[in-house]
Each structure stands twice: as structure tokens, then as C-alpha cells.
Amino acid sequence: MATSAIFILDLKGKVIIYRDYRGDVPISYADRFMEKVAELEDAGKASPIIQDEGVTYLYLQHSNLYLLAVTKSNVNAASTVYFLHKLVEVFTKYFEQLEEESVRDNFVTVYELLDEMMDFGYPQFTEANILQEFIKTEAQKMDVVERKAPMAVTNAVSWRSEGIKYKKNEVFLDVVESVNLLVNANGSVVRSEIMGALKMRTYLTGMPECKLGLNDRVLLESQGKSGKGKAVDLEDMKFHQCVRLARFESDRTISFVPPDGAFDLMTYRISSQVKPLIWIECTVNNSSRSRVEYLVKAKSQFKARSAASNVEISIPVASDATAPVVRASQGSAEYAPEREALVWKIKNFPGGKEFLLRAKFSLPSIEGDSSVEGGRKQPIQVNFEIPYFTVSGIQVRYLKVIEKSGYQALPWVRYITQSGEYEIRMN
């Protein structure tokens, strides 16, 4: 039912941390794990959950570390894997960087945290900001603080402590939308979806009650307000545990007592097709055996009052291409052999514009080994950001903060759209 032990290993498999919860998987299993991982990776069959002689290893890699949970029972795999990700989150909050160095430097804190976050292999508590109130690192312990019992740990509101005070009460809300797009070589859109996230930073006194209003179509229609302005179909919303889910289910009100500081309030997904924000057309001309020519057209398909920034278009190029001659009508383009790609960067790309790029390469006159052909066909990948803009049209209608002391809190809302997995396949 539960995890037997948690390991933190370096990439060579050396144990840095070993917290045994059940006494049935000894430390020596770290070696077996490494052997098994190496074996599976060689065979190209690696997966994040592996089994060997009755022991299951669930793991992930983070910077130069493996975080590994072992068990001999039928654990809840989703819970265990997610717990490992939570470990990363908590340790990162504690040590800024989670890497071999920081774990070694803070190993006492790591053990303390593992003791509090899991008991007998059951995940217990993973709210970093509450843990920080009673488990501190060497550096944070500058002034000796009286250690109180962690009230919040067992409270219904387990993510916020009482008695928080701010002179100025502020809430920052970022609405971030990532666009995932997949276009086939023939130019047809295979998949397009928007992944949205509402990221919050709260600096609020006491135990504030917050209520968030969005232009959610279901909510507006139920209130008979569908006529006013644009409403958005939010397909699947996922909430931070502070949001009252039962309340949302009954009347779609997003109400919560927020944690202190930064957290992701909610995510949502919209899969209705949107016009690709930046459209790329690429023609490759293999006129002769030793020359290849690329003509790339990039077009911004959003309103002229917005502008995309930090646009980076990466166009795959044969690995044996040499002597590039590149000309771009905007921005700068460079051949990056290590990525086998031509990287075109445009700092500012206003809406409704079109830019061109021409590139010529030399190819070796001897054709490569034909057995490797049919190999990797990288897609064109595009990165960009469009500030003050959301593709979906989502809007924060209001964010109410009510606290018994009656202060006024200032909400600051920002919108931004960025590229997610934005891929255009090539012929």
C-alpha cells in the first residue's frame, strides 16, 4: 500500500539520501536500480516505473539527481509519482536549486522534511510554505525562532497559517495561456489547444476569503448574463487544493482561502480550434545534389495592436549541411549545427505582418549511408510570447478579497500568451 523508502541518488547511482520507512528494501537496492535503469536505457525501453524481482522503482530525474521511491506492494502509482514531483517542488522552494550540491549541503534538513512529508510510506504533508514555518535550513535559522506546533498541518486550511500580517495588501494574478499546435506537412492543423494557468502571488493579512469571477460561459449563462461581452468555454479546470471544489461543482463559484505567496490557483484547457498565431511556411528546394535552398515565410495572424516578442523559429536542416548563406527580412538568423537547425530570432513581431527568410546550404557531394535515411524528421518549432493578450479571450471579471479586519486589497491582473508545443511538420 505504501512506499518502502525514498532515495536521492547522484547520476552515477551513489546514495546521497536514503530514508527508510518500512525496513523491507535495504539501501543496497540503489545499485540494482542503477543496473536495471542502465539495462533498460540501453535497450531503449526505459519507463518511469520499473519492476525487478518483486521490487518496484518509481523515479524521476531532476538536474543531476535521481529521486527514487521503492516499494514491494501495490502502491497508488499516481500518488507516488506525484509525490516525487512534490518533493522536487518543496526542495526547490527550500534550497532554490535542487541539485547534488544543495542536497549534500542541507542533508539534515532533507531528512527532517522527509520525516514530515511521509510517514510509514504514506504521503502526509507537502505544503512548502507551512513546512518552512517549523523546519528551517541552516541559512534560514539566522535568528533563533521559537518552534510552534504546526497548527496548519492538521487544519482544514492546511496551506495557510494564522497571524500573517502585511502593511500593504496586494494580490498579483497572471493569466498565462500556452498554445499547443501541431500542423501536418500539408499545412492542415492536426491539433490545436490552449493550456491556461492562473498564477497568483498573494500578500494578504489574516485569513482572507477570495472569490474569483471569470467570463466562464457556463457560469454566465446560468446567471442569464450571456449577452454581455465574450464568454469562454473552459473545458476542464483543475484547482489548487485551496479552492472549494464542492462549491464550484454546485454553482461554479471559485472561492478559496489562498496560501501565502506564490501558487498556481488553477489551470484550464480549451481545445476548440484557434487560428494559429504565427504561421510558418517552408519550402525546401533541392535543386542540385550539392545545394539546398530554404524559403521560410512567417506570418503573424493576430491583431495589429498586439505584438509577439522573443520569437524564435527553429528550422531543421540536414546534419551534413555546410556553408550557410542566410538572409532575413527581419531579425537575425543563424545556423546552429548542434541543434541541426537554422534558428531565426525576431525580437518584435507585430500582428498582421509577414517576414521572409532565405537560406542556402552546401551538401557533401557523396551521399550519406542510405541505411540511416528515413531517420529523424524534426518538425519546425516556434517559441514566442504575446503580452497583454489571451487567445481564448478569457477575462478576470473580478477578484474579491474579504477579510474580517475589513482592509482593501489591490488586485493586479496581467495577461500573456506564449507558445507551448508549437510544431509544424516538414516533408
Q: Which is nearer to another protein, 43 or 366 (CB)?
A: 43
Q: Which are the contacts of 165, defined by CB distance < 8 A and separation ≥ 6?
A: 205, 206
How many Å apart are CA 418 and CA 199, to the nearest integer? Answer: 14
Residues touching another protein, count (CB under 8 A): 96
Beta strands at 170-183 and 410-424: parallel, antiparallel or unpaired: parallel
Residues in 377-406 that interact with another protein by CB under 8 A: 377-379, 381
**Which residues inside 314-373 make contact with another protein, applying CB under 8 A?**
371, 373
Residue 79 binds another protein (CB under 8 A): yes
Span 129-168, contacts to another protein by CB under 8 A: 134, 147, 149-150, 153-154, 156, 158
235 near another protein, rule: CB under 8 A:
yes
Minimal distance, residue 411 CB to another protein, in Å: 22
Contacting range for another protein; rule: CB under 8 A; set: 241-249, 295-303, 383-391, 395-403: 241-249
Binding characters for another protein, 184-223, by CB under 8 A (x = yes):
x-----xx-x-x----------------------------
Helix (H) or strand (E) holding 108: helix 107-117
Question: Pattern 274-313, binding to another protein, x per CB under 8 A?
Answer: ----------------------------------------
Q: Give the integer Cα–Cα distance in Å for 132 and 179.
A: 35
The CB-of-54 to another protein minimum distance in angstroms stands at: 5
Q: Is 340 helix (H, G, I), strand (E, B) or coil?
A: coil
Closest residue by Cα to residue 213 from 194, 198, 235, 227: 198
Nearer to another protein, 188 or 287 (CB): 188
CA distances from 228 to 231, 297, 408 (A): 8, 39, 28
Q: Is residue 212 a contact partner of residue 219, using CB atoms and an 8 Å limit? A: no
Query: Which residues, 32 to 51, sit near another protein by CB under 8 A?
Result: 44-49, 51
Query: Nearest CA to 99 among 11, 165, 33?
Result: 11
Under the binding rule (CB under 8 A), the answer on residue 182 touching another protein is yes
- Residue 118, H or E segment: strand 118-119
Should residue 14 be labelled a site residue for another protein when binding is judged by CB under 8 A? yes
- Residue 405's alpha-carbon distances to 42, 123, 409, 418, in angstroms, are 62, 36, 11, 39
Segment 86 to 105, residues that bind another protein, using CB under 8 A: 104-105
Q: Shortest approach of another protein to residue 38 CB, angstroms?
A: 16
* Cα–Cα distance, 215 to 396 (Å, whole number): 7
CB of 352 to another protein, least distance (A): 28
Which parts of 16-35 interact with another protein (CB under 8 A)? 16-18, 20-23, 27
